[in-house]
Amino acid sequence: MSTTPAEAEAMRRALVLAATPGVPLGPNPRVGCVILAPDGTRVGEGHHRGAGTPHAEVAALADAGERARGATAVVTLEPCRHTGRTGPCTEALLAAGVRRVVHAEPDPTAEAAGGAAALAAAGVEVEGGLLAGEAYALNDAWHFGLQHGRPFVRWKFATTLDGRSAAADGTSRWVSSRPARLDTHRLRGQADVMMVGSSTVAVDDPALTVRDADERPLAHQPLRVVVGRRDLPAERDVFDSTAETVQLRTHDLDAVLADLFARGRRSVFLEGGPTLAAAFVRAGLVDEVVTYVAPMLLGGGRSAVGDLGITTIAEALHLRITDITTLGEDEETNVRITMTATGAA
């Protein structure tokens, strides 16, 4: 068996559905599904909206109604065969009379895997692997959580060429250019947690929201997390009604990530100051580093990261560059460098 152009197009549409803004990154995977009639036309579509809601296949079947009989279901993840807060998708597909199922990636969880085999055993044509790489990338934070039992941590900071995040008088606007700030909001939108330390809230009063080019907050916002025991004024911007905020009054970073994982959060965007950033780096809990480098020199001021406990060059933490992109031009230029720790998963 092989897939058809119509099925490939349907899978691309299913990936778009799965990535619908506002769909949580966890604790369940993001999944989209499209139902194709025998002539290749779309007769139904749906996506999973989060834990406890109908799975993508069930939503798409409901959209298709009787047109699902004899149809093909194109889904970004292998249909599940287990009963959780909702029933097995395999049974829903069989009951609807679906003739063929095309899925992207296999389900990696022990409790849900095996759906493809169960469908095939019931006489349904099954084809797997269509756009599997794209489907995996869609749920990279979810996959990371399955492997590591904690959220993925991306640390972002802006710096001058000489490694300063602020001048000697504390001013830092604007080390990052406008194009870099817009790019930062794009990355913020890919996370489900925005994190800073309590000192950053006290000194800088950040809003920690995802905003558009006109500085308007988007409808769907990550959870704002403040780490630290420091008491903070209730009028700080991070405590407004734009997004949900929690303060985790501990310096135990493993406990912080465990708390967030238990809340179903799978991707942390760390924008804390040099102290919190250094703590995460020392603990080995930074999975990716994104820095925006400005073509300017300060010669003094606040370092972008605090003391890492490194006293000799032989102990230096080596990072692997995965991407270099120039944003903007002239005095609005920043260079975005994306890195992972050597040997990081």
Indicate the pairing of strand 288-294 with strand 267-270.
unpaired
Nearest to 204 by CA among 175, 241, 178, 182: 175
Instruction: Render the burial of 293-310: b for 16+ CB within 10 Å, e for the rest.
Output: bbeeebeebbebbbeeee
CB 268 within 8 Å of CB 257: yes
The DSSP H or E segment spanning 339 is strand 334-341
Strand partners, 166: 302
DSSP notation for 63-78: HHGGGGTT-EEEEEEP
Nearest to 58 by CA among 21, 25, 85: 85
Residue numbering of the annotated binding site for Zn(2+)? 55, 80, 89
7, 57, 105, 288: the catalytic one is 57
Residue 95 CB burial class (10 angstroms; 0-12, 13-18, ≥19): exposed
Instruction: Give how far Cα 330 sits from Cα of 163, 167, 178, 327, Å.
Output: 20, 21, 12, 10
Nearest to 48 by CA among 32, 60, 65: 32
Which residues lie closer than 8 Å to 244 by C-beta, 6 or more apart? 221, 223, 224
- 57 included as an active-site residue: yes
DSSP notation for 197-229: EHHHHHHH------B-TTSPBPSS-PEEEEESS
For the chain, the 3-state helix, strand and coil shares in percent, each to the nearest 5, are 30, 25, 45
Indicate the pairing of strand 267-270 with strand 334-341.
unpaired
Residues with catalytic roles? 57
